[in-house]
């Protein structure tokens, strides 16, 4: 997620409010501001913590985004972040070896 934040900062099309909120979240996480809320999701808007609670559904997020542009919601426990499946990486060395063995 921190890598995602870096890409959002450098993307000229990104909403700068999102970026500020993400940076605020990780700064607060680093200093231990979320102690006692390890299993909660944090909603941040205008670099302020709005609430701790459960993860919003897609419909709830759409309604919130319409009211508060730039709002973010992230889990305190970073292991709760959605992960993409691991992919196999193909290198040119492996391809060369396959063709040699044919």
Q: Which residues pair with 43 in a beta bridge?
A: 51, 73
Q: pLDDT (tens digit, 9 = 90+) per residue, 28-87?
A: 999 999 999 999 999 999 999 999 999 999 899 889 888 888 888 999 988 766 655 666
Q: What angle do CA 62, 27, 1 make, to 5 degrees?
A: 55
With a threshold of 0.75, does the pTM exceed it? Answer: no
pLDDT band at 17 (very low <50, low <70, confident <90, very high): confident
Q: What angle do CA 73, 76, 80 make, to 5 degrees?
A: 85
- Identify the three-state secondary structure at position 25: helix
pLDDT band at 92 (very low <50, low <70, confident <90, very high): low
């Amino acid at each position: 997620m921190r890598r995602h934040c870096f890409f959002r900062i450098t993307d000229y099309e990104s909403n700068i409010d999102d970026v500020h909120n993400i940076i605020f979240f990780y700064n607060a996480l680093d200093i231990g501001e979320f102690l006692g809320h390890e299993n909660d999701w944090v909603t941040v808007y205008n670099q302020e913590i709005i609430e701790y609670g459960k993860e919003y559904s897609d419909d709830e997020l759409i309604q919130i985004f319409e009211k508060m542009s730039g709002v973010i919601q992230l889990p305190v426990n970073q292991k709760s972040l959605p992960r993409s499946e691991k992919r196999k990486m193909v290198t040119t060395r492996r391809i060369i070896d396959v063709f040699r063995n044919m």
